[in-house]
Structure 1
Amino acid sequence: DDNDFMIECDGCSGWFHGKCIDLSDRIADDIEKYFCHECSKQHGPSIFKQRKNQHRRDYSDANADNKPTQSGTPDFINKLKRRIFPGCESVVTRLKGNHLTPEYLAKYGFTQPILISNRDGLDMTLPNRTITLAEIRDAVGQDRFIDIIDCEKQVTYKMNLDDYIEYYENFERILQKNKD
């Protein structure tokens, strides 16, 4: 379980399991000074690292000015948003469902993404197009672990589906909390 990490309180030097204090390792990575429940009464809440740059994964790196932009950072994402990319037609194969067969794959392989324009005849069971995360959780179980990629940090975490749904549905609130 990824919440088995431990964090030291900067007030009392006590050690706490992330799971016991309901703190994920993703959030703990961004904490500059951690104060446990008791110490926060005297020292105030935990202090998050201050953002000193927008172009490095370690956003608290004070010496980042002359370092290149890293993928996943706010600067990188803003640059991507301003770029114009060619269409996907040169790299995507479009097929109707009834054309994607074992024979097709044996003949042409699966060397590019295949976009199915019409599901009819696909001969496989697919979820409804409007399936929700809650329905997926109910089908596979809330304790199923999935890999989550933190794009900004370029780190992979394991998270159970129930925790992921909570994180996903509260993403804006979590972002704001980390900025405060």
Structure 2
Amino acid sequence: MEDAPVELPAYETWLQCDVCEEWYHGVCVGISASESKHIDKFHCKKCVGNHGPSLYSRVAPRRSGRQHNHVDYSRLNEGQPATFNQYMLRLEAHEFTADGFDHLENGHTVTAEWLRNRDSNDPFLIEKPQGLGLTMPGSATTVSEIVELIGRDTAVSVMDVLTQEELKGWTVGDWAAYFESADRQRVLNVISLEVSGTALDQQVSRPSVVDEVDLVERYWPAAKRKADKYPRVKTYCLMGVQNAYTDFHVDFSATWVYYHVVWGAKVFYLVPPTASNMRKFESWSRSPEQAVSLFAENVRQCFEVRVEAGNTLFIPAGWIHAVLTPVDTLAIGGNFLVMQSLNAHIGAYKLEARTGVPQRYRFPFFLKLCRYMAELLAR
């Protein structure tokens, strides 16, 4: 009996250029182990100009006609990401499904009853904030002003976009210095800065409908809302530089989420949470191929939605999504649980346990909230 074929992890996949004979990590040139098996002749970036693109043994993956970002491989090999962004290359190569979701002119019709009676579980976009009960910082607010409202010494989790790993030891003051620098050596992102209780929080009111349906607001006893033993997920400040990217994920416990772009823009890549797609996502999340492949390639439809300044996007429970920041952007968002999606929330909580998601990336005190709900509903 023959041994089953072994799929090499991304960091063990190497390709030799058939022209200059130099070797490259698959992850560094954005080619997965599975894709490399179909390459007859590999041409590196330096040799493509004179010898054309790599040749495939079958139809090559579709490439976008748009101009690709310059890849500075010499600096990459020295350990400096420079302008290289492997995620941008994959996104440009993929053909996404056009946004066919509801676009509402304003938020006057967005009520708890409207949410309950919707015919679909699709995301929806609100073009203007009127009627949402939304309060946000002004469009002229700078990152430095945001930092002063939060507190310069406040610790912040910063993500390195190239590796999708967290950088420790940063403060929001450090982040402001990086954001306003004219020479950013790496593409970094801030996506998990919860600001409840800060001066910035006093300038933010989330959509009224969120307060109406949020299970934490409805069932967590007011007398037990202590800062260190209470889900603080209501208000996040998201600050991303151009080409920042967050890879495909499901928000903790499949929470609903709203995003409001104060200035700049965001592009969301959204995959419906069907049973088949969730199985594929779980498999992809556990695979070493995650580092060198685009999840959208595994599913039938992945929608592309652009959210401009002043827009508010709602993403219902469980939608698998990635986020690109095409220009420097300031956004405010928040997570919330709703009764109509309770099965999805519990299912996602179990999925996180199966896939080993660290506790700090899960919905805080989820089981305690479920206990409070059970106690009140049983009365």
TM-score in terms of structure 2 length: 0.25
Q: Larger relative CO (CA 8 A, sep 6+): 1 or 2?
A: 2
Return the structure number with greater strand share: 2
